Amino acid sequence: MRKEFSAAIERIATSDDRIIFITGDLGYNALENVAAALGPRFINAGVAEQNMVGVAAGMAYKGYKVFCYSIAPFAVYRCLEQFRNDVCLHNLPVFLVGNGGGYGYGIMGSTHHAIEDLACLSSLQNVRTWIPAFADEIDPIVDAIVAEGRPAYLRLGAGPKTPEGTQDAGSFRKIVSSERPKGTVVALGPVAANVLKALGTSDALGSQFDVYTALNLPLELPAELGRQWAETGNLLVVEEHVGIGGLAQQLSVKLLENGLAFNKFVSLSAQGYPEGLYGDQSYHQRQSGLDAVSIQEKLESFL
């Protein structure tokens, strides 16, 4: 998604001189096109993320719209206080961009993972987090972030292209439809690809579930959509994020507020480091039951 993101920034920055891009000394062999297009509006703040956000807040106060880019844990955790106090409480157009959400940076270990980022940021005032599942969602998301002009966080990962025939509904996008679904799956971010892989193991499995992705936290859940899910009887939530403060927990509140219940409600989420070891992203997904095989087993339990 990083390639799509840099292309989107180059596009909007050439038509809007209020766009500023600040990087925390990252983007080698990825953001050269952005630097060339923005010139002095491309700023390398160095390894100083807290200062980066403070500077961005000052620029936003003066009328600019500022993107702050780093890998996800550095963009979120190191400058959480500055983003909360300087940006969110003043509702300024500063947009954090974190590359490699979830276990994206794999063997670099826990310091380079972002599995609590959405809980941290979606709880702040005035902020909207964006979690694309597919690479071609980046372009319209960047446009929406700039148009809204409010604090935002964009969590980048590695995702394929959007399946054909999708439908948007509130914070969600329907990507698989079934005539008589025996359950609903809601996935957050690129781990949706593992859901599609699990469903693709057999025609019988793939034709019995409706599948949605969640694009934003905090959630906007249309009441009718929640009722449609409840009618399928079963709900599986899949997210590369810890359960506390993540999609499943926030979704549970919305469903309960609407008086909706399920025969089975299963949450698959990031489990941290069960064996105290580090590996690539697929290793950590397996450890957390977020791989296609584990998802397939959960879906089969609904039938």
21-78 pLDDT per residue, tens: 999 998 888 899 999 999 999 999 999 999 999 999 999 999 999 999 999 999 999 9
Q: What is the pLDDT of residue 204?
A: 79
Task: Report the first-to-last Cα separation within the chain, whole angstroms.
Answer: 35
Q: DSSP character for 102?
A: B
Instruction: Report the share of the chain in percent with pLDDT over 70.
Output: 100
Determine the longest span between alpha carbons in the chain, in angstroms: 58
7-11, 25-29, 127-131, 215-219: least confidently modelled range? 25-29
Q: Is the pLDDT of residue 100 over 90?
A: yes
For each of the domains in the chain, give its residue range(s) and CATH number, in order of start. 2-156 (3.40.50.970), 167-301 (3.40.50.920)
pLDDT band of residue 167 (cuts 50, 70, 90) is: confident
Q: Which pTM does this prediction carry? A: 0.95
What are the strands, taking DSSP E only, across the chain?
19-23, 42-44, 65-71, 94-99, 128-130, 152-156, 167-169, 172-176, 184-188, 210-214, 216-217, 234-239, 264-268
User: Whole-angstrom Cα distance, residue 42 to residue 31?
Assistant: 10
**Closest listed residue to residue 196, CA positions, set 296, 303, 270, 302:** 296
pLDDT at 146: 97
Q: What is the DSSP letter of 150?
A: S
Query: What are 252-273's pLDDT values in tens digits?
Result: 999 999 999 999 999 999 999 9
Which residue(s) pair with 95 in the sheet? 67, 152
Residue 229 parent element (H or E)? helix 223-232
